Amino acid sequence: MSALASIRDLTLTYRRDGTAVAALKNINLDIVAGERLAIIGESGSGKSTLALAIAGLLPASARVEGHVDWFINPSSTLGAKAPLVERNPQKSFAKPSRPPLLGHDIGFVFQDPSASLDPVMAIGKQIAEVARTHLGLSWPQAYAKAKALLQRVRLPDPDSALHAFPHQLSGGQKQRVAIAAAIAAGPKLLIADEATSALDTIVQAEIVALIRQLVAEDGMTLLFISHDIALAAELAERIAVFRHGQLVELGTTARIVGAPTQPYTRTLLDAHIGLDAAPLLDQAGLPA
Ligand SMILES: Nc1ncnc2c1ncn2[C@@H]1O[C@H](COP(=O)(O)OP(=O)(O)OP(=O)(O)O)[C@@H](O)[C@H]1O
Ligand code: NI
């Protein structure tokens, strides 16, 4: 197995009104190339902070200790299936590479698609611009790419959708466009931070299926952030449980769902089972 990124001793504190908020405490976590990894935990547990730290999007008020090492050499294991182990490897054998470029190496999808879409620019141009900037395409090539991406995210009538503005689309359609823009440059890592949380359950399931398909087709690594353990179990091969800025438990989805070692993980599972009796393991995305 090879790591795409190794997070080492990451501690992060926000300064706000003269007080310090500890958002992440001594996090050690490897993101395995090609895996689907979910980060779960309740509100305020530090999930988004971790995502922003990985993507290099932290606000200036954040004080960071520790580091993230990247292994994004061109010959890396894109598309290869790495075996998953329970333990976090503390040794990396490869030399760290250059830091990643947002948009180029990392695609980021936010909960609110309006956060990444420009309200006064046609969506085709927004997607084409990503392809132009990062892939060096001409405008006609970039528009052709944008149209193909709108087809891939299954937006109806991609030809006219190219000229649509975000306000003309439903929430689910906007999120499809945001995903198209996020993957336009062929990033190795796709980060989805509560990307389906604002959508109703049917649309949510459709977007989860879409993310799963795109990640498989492009051989991307997925970091799926959610407060919903059932949704995470549906999509992810491994789950990392966060609480109060700490990584409390990490393992394969089957192990986390079937035999959690931490009482907090048990609580999250019980809370879900209380709402929906369907056994989580059947949804764990594992071969039957
Ligand atoms: N820009 C910021 N300035 C100050 N404190 C912040 C900032 N962003 C987050 N925090 C604080 O850091 C902690 C972790 O927040 P974070 O947003 O990472 O949690 P989360 O798990 O993503 O929560 P949610 O599920 O609500 O999105 C919280 O206590 C939060 O209030
Ligand atoms: Ni968050």
| Percentage of residues in the chain having pLDDT higher than 90 | 81
What CATH superfamily is the domain 1-73+222-288? P-loop containing nucleotide triphosphate hydrolases (3.40.50.300)
Could you read off the pLDDT of 53-101 as tens digits, one per residue? 999 999 999 999 999 999 987 644 443 344 444 444 445 457 888 889 9
Q: Give CA–CA dist 189/125, Å, rounded.
A: 23
Output the furthest CA–CA distance in the chain (Å, rounded).
Answer: 55
What gap in Å lies between CA 184 and CA 247, rounded to an integer? 32
Q: Which two tokens stand for residue 100?
A: 């990643």
ipTM of the complex: 0.99
Domain boundaries, the chain: 1-73+222-288
**Sheet of strand 62-70, all strands in order from the earlier edge strand to the far edge:** 19-32, 3-16, 62-70
Whole-angstrom Cα distance, residue 195 to residue 160?
Answer: 25
Token digits of residue 261:
């070692």
241 forms bridges with which residues in the sheet?
Answer: 40, 249
How many whole angstroms from 143 Cα to the centroid of ligand 1? 37
* Residue 54: partners with Cβ closer than 8 Å, 6 or more residues away: 5, 7, 31, 68, 106, 189, 191, 223
pTM for the predicted model, two decimal places: 0.90
Q: Any idea which ligand is nearest the CA of 47?
A: 1
Q: How far is CA 165 from CA 28, 120, 171, 203, in A?
A: 41, 7, 13, 20
Burial of 80 (0-12, 13-18, 19+ CB in 10 A): exposed
User: What is the average pLDDT value for the chain, to the nearest integer?
Assistant: 89
Identify which of 238, 228, 225, 235 has the alpha carbon closest to the alpha carbon of residue 49.
225
Residue 92 backbone dihedrals phi, psi, to 5 degrees: -115, 135
pLDDT digits (tens, 9 = 90+) for 5-31: 999 999 999 998 889 999 999 999 999
Q: How far is the CA of 74 from the centre of ligand 2 (A)?
A: 31
Nearest residue (CA) to ligand 1, atom 8: 49
For the stretch 223-247, pLDDT in tens is 999 999 999 999 999 999 999 999 9
Mark out the alpha helices in 95-138 (DSSP H runs). Answer: 123-135
**DSSP strand pairing (189-193 vs 106-109):** parallel
Q: Which ligand 1 atom is nearest residue 46's CA? A: 18
Residue 14, ligand 1, Cβ within 6 A:
yes
- What is the Cα Rg of the chain in Å? 19
CA atoms within 13 A on the CB side of 241: 22
175 lines ligand 1 (CB under 6 A): no
Q: What is the atom index within ligand 1 of the atom nearest the CA of 45? A: 21
End-to-end CA distance of the chain: 24
Quick one: pLDDT at residue 95?
81
Q: Is the beta carbon of 21 within 6 A of some atom in ligand 1?
A: yes
Check pLDDT > 90 for residue 145: yes
**Is the CB of residue 208 less than 8 Å from the CB of residue 196?**
yes
pLDDT in the model for residue 17: 85
Q: What is the pLDDT of residues 166-177, one digit of tens each?
A: 999 999 999 999
Torsion sign over Cα 86, 47, 270, 201: negative
- Supply the pLDDT for residue 99: 87
Q: What is the pLDDT of residue 72?
A: 87
* Pairing relationship of beta strands 189-193 and 246-252 according to DSSP bridges: unpaired
Q: Is the CB of 61 under 6 A from ligand 1?
A: yes
Instruction: Using pLDDT thresholds of 50, 70 and 90, give the confidence band for residue 278.
Output: low
**CB of 273 closer than 6 A to ligand 1?**
no
Distances from the Cα of 62 to the Cαs of 20, 34, 70, 206, in angstroms? Answer: 9, 29, 21, 35
